[in-house]
């Protein structure tokens, strides 16, 4: 029997269809705008930025948007509890520096990126592309992928919205 | 033609199958253990608990596990930036108190709970049940549902694992 228009029978089970189709959704389809500060910014101003932008971490960049570090709410809280003066401390001192940062790219499947978040126990990943210059290792930040992006995608997919690919 | 064993043809499209099957996964299938402190705990000790347990927020309870509030990393950071003495301040002063807290229950679909997290812009929800006593409004905390739980479920489902119901 031919399937009705609008329905299809692929001979696959639900699990494999799900895997295949969710696998087509890329990081760039769900990513957010990155919030960045420069290396000389004080830890205090970095926290003010976190509150103003309502983000859990800010990325530290050099001119050209080159990613050099990341500072989280947790990092600052640890320093604040230790009694350090956040006004005088530059973010560079407390950031997690490159190349220790786990990154993702715009065309990576969001599923792979989500796995990196879970396995490395981080809240977000910077979305990067190679910087247009001689230095091969320099990465320019173009976005951020957070657990919120993933939770929102889960809700959208579960409600039958989102993921142009489905 | 009869479908082969192990495959099935339901006459539905992928989207609706996905919606239907993900809808069967309950909060209790993915929730974590809640991290709690009592109302008299200092803000300082609450933060130490956050670091030791590696959680973004702790729940404040009365005897019997009755939920009375929640304190996040963000709440404490705000107070710390303001220069207050975290040793002397009880969490009760800075917590978000009931009934302002958005909650979920063990048998709520995780999709509905995830939607609450996104729409209310919170990192986690306490999982509660009615407390076994006269006071109808008292809720006992039995778990926590975080964005991490949801991201992990997304990864598990996308890789063809998890969700006994699928």
- Separation CA A40–CA B157 (nearest Å): 43
Distance between B62 CA and the closest CA of chain A, angstroms:
26
> Domain for residue B50, yes or no?
yes
Q: Where residue A114 sits, what CATH number does that domain have?
A: 3.10.580.10
* pLDDT at site B137: 82
> Domain for residue A8, yes or no?
no
Q: Which of B14, B21, B47, B75 is the mutation pick for testing A, counting most A CBs within 10 A? A: B14
- Identify the CA nearest to A75 among candidates A61, A89, A54, A88: A89
Distance between B51 CA and the closest CA of chain A, angstroms:
8
Could you read off the pLDDT of A129-149 as tens digits, one per residue?
Answer: 999 766 678 999 999 999 999
Mean of pLDDT values over B80-95:
89
> Domain for residue B121, yes or no?
yes
> Domain for residue B3, yes or no?
no
Q: Which of A4, A30, A158 is the mutation pick for testing B, counting most B CBs within 10 A? A: A158
Domain count, chain B: 1
- State the residue range of the domain holding A60: 20-158
Could you read off the pLDDT of B43-65 as tens digits, one per residue?
Answer: 999 999 999 999 999 999 999 99
> Domain for residue B144, yes or no?
yes
| Whole-complex ipTM | 0.86
> Domain for residue A126, yes or no?
yes
Beta strand B36-38 with A139-146 is unpaired
Contacts of A4 (CB under 8 A, 6+ apart): B11
> Domain for residue A6, yes or no?
no
> Domain for residue B4, yes or no?
no
Helix (H, G, I), strand (E, B) or coil at A161: coil
- Separation CA A145–CA A102 (nearest Å): 11
Distance between A64 CA and the closest CA of chain B, angstroms:
30
């Amino acid at each position: 029997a031919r399937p009705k228009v609008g329905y299809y029978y692929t001979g696959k089970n639900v699990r494999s269809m799900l895997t295949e189709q969710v696998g087509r959704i890329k990081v760039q389809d769900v990513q957010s705008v990155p919030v960045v500060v420069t290396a000389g910014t004080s830890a205090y101003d970095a926290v003010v930025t976190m509150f103003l932008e309502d983000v859990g971490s800010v990325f530290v960049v050099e001119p050209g948007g080159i990613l050099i570090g990341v500072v989280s709410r947790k990092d600052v809280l640890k320093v604040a509890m230790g009694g350090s003066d956040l006004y005088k401390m530059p973010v560079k001192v407390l950031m997690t520096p490159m190349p220790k940062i786990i990154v993702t790219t715009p065309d990576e499947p969001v599923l792979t990126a989500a796995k990196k978040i879970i396995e490395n126990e981080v809240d977000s990943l910077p979305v990067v592309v190679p910087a247009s210059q001689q230095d091969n290792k320099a990465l320019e930040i173009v976005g951020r992928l957070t657990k919120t992006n993933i939770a929102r995608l889960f809700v959208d997919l579960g409600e039958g919205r989102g993921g142009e690919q489905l």
